[in-house]
Amino acid sequence: MTQNKSKSPWVWVPSLYLTESMPYVVIITVSVIMYKNLGISNADIGLYTSFLYLPWVIKPIWSPILELFGNKKKWFLSMQLILSLVFLGVGLTTGLDQFFVVTLAFFWMGAFASATNDIASDGLYLIALNPGEQSFFVGLRSTFYRVGMITGQGLIVIMAGFLEKKFADPSQAWSWTMIGVSGLMLLLTGINYLATPKVIEERIAKADQPSFGKVFATFFTKKNIGLSLGFVLLYRLGESQLVKMASPFFLDERAAGGLGLSTTEVGFIYGTLGVIALLLGGILGGIVISRDGLGRWMMPMAFAINAPNIGYILLSWQQPESITFAATVVTIEQFGYGFGFAAYMIFLIFLAEGAFKTAHYALATGFMAMGMMLPGMLSGYMQQWLGYPGFFVWVVIATIPGFAMAYMAKYPREFGKKAS
């Protein structure tokens, strides 16, 4: 493979990973807030927005197509352009009588485009940089992925809240917000067109290419694969339900058991304080695992990702008037999530070890998305059945399988430890 060396990774890595994370956050997370503001029930929000995870679950199925046809840059530029049109479509249809069905259809198209964009963007990163450069720029890559999250969960939600107050019409506010997101995606697509390197990709000779069946089968014949997949699916069983109902809880009226916060306040709590805490927790988690190995930190990290969920029980019981209590709970929960998620990601890397590492990592992340999708689909029904206090108690109970799988999972205790 050859590349245009005049394109600096200091420029294209930030723009590429900002563009990778932002549409994902808008489709999976911001859509929850939008639909809540537009009067959709928690049951429908939990079911249909969780189902949007599906393209990330099944993306390993079509990832070989990106290897065989076209090149990575053409693929991700095409997907980013489609995403800008998708968000424009959402913005232009929020005022329709059947807006829920129509905007969901657009989000579905966006989810497939975003998952494909992820494959192509990660592929360019792997082929445009040598292994030493990949390690060097992984921190920059992670940082700007988080910046995309802040943009989505924070600035975009805050903008929607501002427009709600200006227009006194949630439908009009979200229409202009999504049109703005479309413009931002188009701008980022243009930046990536100019900034990313042109790479001539080497093709594996057809005779040497392993069959998809072989790649697929070798993943499921790994040692202790049953326990490993149990860990991947259940480690975040509580969190996968909490994440779908947390924003509706903050936005719902106090009479309905919520906290009655404004959209702007929720955007500030989750998109600024929450994401900063998440980033700090993730950095600390990576540092301690690289120092001591996964075995030393697996159970403490399982505790960190699950125990802070108790704070939501307290919030639902007390329904405090002050935003400070809610902000504190979210900050602690997001820090614990970032810290505990480090163990999860290192385990996924361990699970992908061996032949076909790239394909097996894609399969592992597919199961990761499934572990968020299936429980999330039921979360709204559980909340409506139990009420917010009962639901958050259920979330804490649902963390028990995660603790059990963290204890039983098999892996080298020193895995992830930096060599002396």
* Statement: residue 5 has pLDDT above 70: no
The pair of structure tokens assigned to 370 is 């499934």
Dihedral angle of Cα 148, 150, 151, 154, to the nearest 10 degrees: 160
Q: For the segment 122-174, what is each residue's pLDDT rounded down to a tens digit?
A: 778 877 877 667 656 665 677 788 778 878 888 899 999 999 999 999 999 99
Check whether 416 has a pLDDT greater than 70: yes
**Higher pLDDT, residue 203 or 390:** 390
pLDDT of residue 130: 75
Structure tokens at 392: 């958050």
What are phi and psi for residue 175, nearest 5 degrees?
-60, -50
Which range among 92-106, 196-210, 356-370 has the greatest average pLDDT?
92-106
Rounded-to-integer distance, Cα 387 and Cα 18, Å = 37
Q: Which residues contact 272 (CB under 8 A, 6 or more apart)?
A: 150, 154
Which pLDDT belongs to residue 385? Answer: 95
For 400-410, write each residue's pLDDT tens digit: 999 999 999 99
Alpha helices (H) in 3-130, listed in sequence order:
9-25, 31-37, 42-51, 54-68, 72-93, 99-128
- What gap in Å lies between CA 325 and CA 384, rounded to an integer? 24
- What's the whole-model pTM score? 0.79
Predicted local distance difference test score (pLDDT) of residue 132: 62
Q: Mean of the per-residue pLDDT values for the chain?
A: 87
- CB-side neighbour CA atoms (13 Å) of 368: 18
Q: How many helices (H) and strands (E) does the chain have?
A: 19, 2
Two structure tokens written together for 114: 């975003």
Instruction: Assign residue 39 a region (left: φ > 0; alpha: ψ between -120 and 50; beta: otherwise).
Output: left
Q: What is the per-residue pLDDT for 342?
A: 84
Q: What is the DSSP-derived secondary structure letter of residue 236?
A: T
**CA 326 – CA 311 distance, rounded (Å):** 9
Whether the CB-CB separation of 72 and 120 falls below 8 Å is answered with: yes
- Give the pLDDT of residue 27: 96
Residue 404 and residue 96 in contact, taking contact as beta carbons nearer than 8 Å:
no
pLDDT at 208: 55
13: nearest Cα among 137, 189, 187: 137
Are β-strands 2-3 and 199-200 bridged in parallel, bridged antiparallel, or unpaired?
antiparallel
pLDDT in tens, 294-349: 899 999 999 999 999 999 999 999 999 889 999 999 999 989 988 898 888 888 87
| Residue 359: pLDDT over 80 | no
Instruction: Please state the domain extents for the chain.
Output: 1-199, 214-410
Determine the distance from the C-alpha atom of residue 318 to the mean position of all C-alpha atoms in its chain, rounded to a whole number.
30
Q: What percent of the chain has pLDDT over 70?
A: 91
Handedness of CA 120, 126, 128, 129 (dihedral sign): positive
- The rounded percent of the chain whose pLDDT value lies above 90 is 56
Lowest mean pLDDT among 23-32, 132-141, 170-179, 181-190: 132-141
Per the CB < 8 A criterion, the answer to whether 398 and 378 are in contact is no
pLDDT at 3 over 60: no
pLDDT digits (tens, 9 = 90+) for 189-229: 999 999 998 876 655 555 555 666 777 788 888 999 999 99
Nearest alpha-carbon partner for 317 in 305, 301, 333, 329: 329
Treating both helix axes as pointing N-terminal to C-terminal, what angle do 275-292 and 323-351 enclose, rounded to 10 degrees? 40
Residues 74 and 193: their CA atoms lie apart, in Å, by: 9
214-410 fold? Growth Hormone; Chain: A; (1.20.1250)
> Tokens 């028990």 sit at which residue?
400
Chain centre distance of CA 346: 16
Domain covering 1-199, topology: Growth Hormone; Chain: A; (1.20.1250)
| 1-199 against 214-410: fold identical | yes
What pLDDT, on a 0 to 100 scale, did the predictor assign at position 22? 94
Average pLDDT over residues 376-391: 94
**Segment 250-263, tens digit of pLDDT:** 999 999 999 999 98
Q: How open is the CA angle 368-13-106, to the nearest 5 degrees?
A: 55
